[in-house]
Amino acid sequence: MTRVLQTLMDGVAVGSTYALIALGYTMVYGILRFINFAHSDIFMLGAWFSFSLAGVFGWTLAGATPPPWAAVVVLLGAMSGTAVLGYAIERVAYRPLRSAPRINVLIAAIGVSLLIENIGQLPIAFGTQPQRMPSLLPDAVLFEVSGVSIRLVDTLVIGIALGLMAALEWLIYGTRLGLAMRAVSTDAQTAALMGVPVDRVVSATFAVGSALAAAAGFLYASKYPGINQPAHATWILLGLKAFVAAVVGGIGNVRGAMAGGLLIGMVEIFGAAYLSPHLRDVYVFALLILVLLVRPAGLLGRATVEKV
């Protein structure tokens, strides 16, 4: 019973970081109908920005005791950093291609991804060595039964992720910007006729999506402190799983991305715990194939007929 509980905690913790990344894929797709393949690199940067920022304050040194507010500073710092970067990437790499064929934008995204990974490996950036994220989130064993423990850090990771998702939900359904985002995602041309500044809404979407990916990077590194070097394949794989989450939930659908992320995390962690830990990636992609066969538009997606 306790093992189920611990696996559940792990599944929700990993799943909620997938959900945070998936939101960025799905929001950008919803507005521009394009898959931002550089998004997994934004997630990677979120982890590395967090590590570097902690380094600036000396919290990465051996024996350092970061204050309780360290996590807040690092999380908000990393989120602001990637928000600005996401905004800049859209401005420089994607906006000039707004009326170009979609394949051009896709190739530009792959280019941005390679650029980030390679700049990230430079000695003046993060280098090619893995690092260890200091534990900024307080940790303790909340309770323990027959050798299985429920940890505070997992609870905090889940709490922060769900809090950010609630904040996004409020942004999209409760604010003027959110109304504009939903209008642009339905019909950008008509949204402009209403007085919605479409370009600014697109910029805001990239900034918000990138900030959420950075939060995922921070939370993931808090749970699994070994940070791989910027071009390591695990980042791509994690980003890809988050993309699968967005597709499983219904690409373009914000609540779908949240649900898809949690589902993918659960399937992966439960499969690893109860079937075989070696096949954890298999479960995720098998689920993708299954969902695409049964509901091609995703669990919460609506089937649309392409207009010709």
Partner 1 sequence: MSALLQVQGLAVRYGAVAALHGIDFDVHEGEILTLLGSNGAGKSTTLRAISGMIRPSSGTIRFDGRDITGLPAHEIVGLGIAHAPEGRGIFGPLTVDENLRLGAFARKDPAGVASDRERVFALFPRLAERIHQVSGTLSGGEQQMLAIGRAMLARPRLLLLDEPSLGLAPQVVATIFRILREIHAGGTTILLVEQNASMALATAQRGAVLEVGRIVLQGAASDLAASDDVRRAYLGVH
**Where does this chain bind partner 1 (CB under 8 A)?**
176, 179-180, 182-183, 186-187, 189-198
Q: How far is the CB of 192 from partner 1 (least distance, A)?
A: 4
To the nearest whole angstrom, how small is the minimum distance from the Cβ of residue 173 to partner 1? 10
As measured in angstroms, the least distance from the Cβ of 100 to partner 1 is 14
Q: Which residue has the tokens 């000695």?
A: 123
Q: Which of 131, 160, 134 is nearest to 64 (CA)?
A: 134
- Contact of 65 with 141, CB cutoff 8 Å: no
d(CA 269, CA 283) in angstroms, rounded, equals: 9
User: Beta-carbon neighbour count of residue 292 at 10 Å?
Assistant: 14
Helix (H, G, I), strand (E, B) or coil at 227: strand
Which 3 state secondary structure label does DSSP give 206?
helix
For residue 150, the cross-strand partners are 143
Cβ proximity to partner 1, 174 vs 277, nearer residue: 174
Least distance between partner 1 and beta carbon 34 (Å):
20
Min dist. Cβ of residue 258 to partner 1 (A): 18
The Cα-based distances of 106 to 27, 46, 122, 166, 234 in angstroms read 16, 22, 25, 30, 21
33 vs 35: CA distance, rounded Å: 7
Tell me the Cα Rg of the chain: 19
The SS3 call for residue 144 is strand
Are 141 and 229 a contacting pair, CB within 8 Å?
Answer: no
What's the closest the beta carbon of residue 180 comes to partner 1, in angstroms? 7
